[in-house]
Amino acid sequence: MKQTPQDLEKIAAFTLEDYDRRAEDFWEGTRGHDVSQNVATMLQYIEGERPFRLLDFGCGPGRDLMVFAKLGHIAIGLEGAPRFAAMARAHSGCEVWRQDFLKLDLPENHFDGVFANATLFHVPSQELPRVLLELHACLKPGGVLFSSNPHGRNEEGWSRGSYGAYHDLEAWRRYLSAAGFAELTHYYRPTGQPRERQPWLASVWRREARGPRP
């Protein structure tokens, strides 16, 4: 079913409220997670001179912003949940933009990399093509998008207070290719486990010069 503007407003509002309500618990539960593989994988594909200009898309309380800043990069966070945004600023010292994923206002040709770790799956499938085009436009030509999402069989809906869309690899490839990205690599996490115990699909994409497909 096609979602109305009112439906989309509710999806964004309720999901952000859910994260805001459990902000402290979320920080304590995730601050020690090791996502160094994801950070290193994105950075290795970015071309050009360091420091890189990076957007942490859905930065949460700022764990990964802190990593990028310590590595010497120019990192900006984007976060819709008010408490997360305030925590990210305090923890990282970085600039953080308060923006809803469905109402983005991004500069064009600005970033070397976009790091979307456990965030893009919150975008309803209906809106995903538009959001990906906006991320494509904010990257410099040849810039890199990293994403990591819980994968599934292309189902979507509500789960424990937040909305999610759980794409398989082939569906994810179709969305990204249509938005003008070329796949660089993908892998499942955590490493060293059988697939049924690897809930996360990570992938890296380069902004193609030709632009999105018509």
Query: Picking from 5-14, 47-56, 140-149, 186-195, which range would have the lowest pLDDT averaged per residue?
Result: 186-195
Instruction: Compute the distance between CA of residue 204 and CA of residue 41 in angstroms, rounded to an integer.
Output: 8
**C-beta separation of 65 from 58 below 8 A:** no
C-alpha 122/C-alpha 21 separation (Å) is 17
Q: Give the closest residue to 20 by CA, choosing from 73, 60, 63, 68.
A: 60
Q: Output the pLDDT for position 211.
A: 57
Instruction: Taking residues 183-203, report their average pLDDT.
Output: 94
Per domain, the residue ranges of the chain are 5-207
pLDDT tens readout for residues 142-162: 999 999 999 999 999 999 889
Indicate the fold that domain 5-207 takes in CATH. Answer: Rossmann fold (3.40.50)
| Cβ partners under 8 Å of residue 179, min gap 6 | 129, 132, 133, 135, 136, 212
pLDDT in tens, 8-35: 999 999 999 999 999 888 888 887 788 8
Distance CA 145, CA 151 (A): 17
Cα 202 to Cα 7, 82, 98, 209, distances in angstroms: 28, 27, 25, 23
Q: How confident is the model at residue 1 (pLDDT cuts 50, 70, 90)?
A: confident
pLDDT for 144 equals: 98
pLDDT of 208 reads: 86
Under 8 Å between Cβ of 136 and 179: yes
Q: What's the CA gap between 214 and 212, in Å, rounded?
A: 6
The predicted pLDDT at position 191 comes to 87
